[in-house]
Structure 1
Amino acid sequence: MRTSYDFTGARRNPFAKRLKKQVTIRVDVATLDYFKGLSEDLAIPYQTLINHYLQECAAAGKRPSMTWKAAGRNRVAEVVSPR
């Protein structure tokens, strides 16, 4: 190992913008259990599976089949699924 290094010719990582970003989301227990079970069947981590599914949805321009009822004063917003 050298005692010093010359970084004058160094450049930023060109792939830095493609890196993943850690986020926190709230997921229903049943939904999480579904993806965890599926990930065991496919032998991949469940976070990777969820990320891949979200990538497919984004690439296809998929939109949720639900509506969002806005919250009024002192009310909680609710998701209204189509029937």
Structure 2
Amino acid sequence: MNAPASPSQSLAVRCAIYTRKSTKEGLEQGFNSLDAQYEASAAYVSGQRNESWKLLPERFDDGGLSGGSKERPALQAYWPR
């Protein structure tokens, strides 16, 4: 009888990173808060390699949009209604 698969032997967990900043202030900089959010999240996903986490290549960034509404283009691109 085969042993059950461990989490690291299961299917890959596909990970998307969504970043948002409510104002446009600072987004013109070469490295901004959306980049910092993405890098921190990507590092976390990378640390889960043993759990078969895989980072999707697309970025989902909404800069200058309020979190009070779900009407955000990048959010809708990956999580449509």
TM-score by length of 1: 0.21
Which structure dedicates a bigger proportion of its chain to helix? 1
Greater RCO between the two (CA within 8 Å, min separation 6)?
A: 2
Q: Specify the structure having the higher radius of gyration (Cα).
A: 1
TM-score by length of 2: 0.21
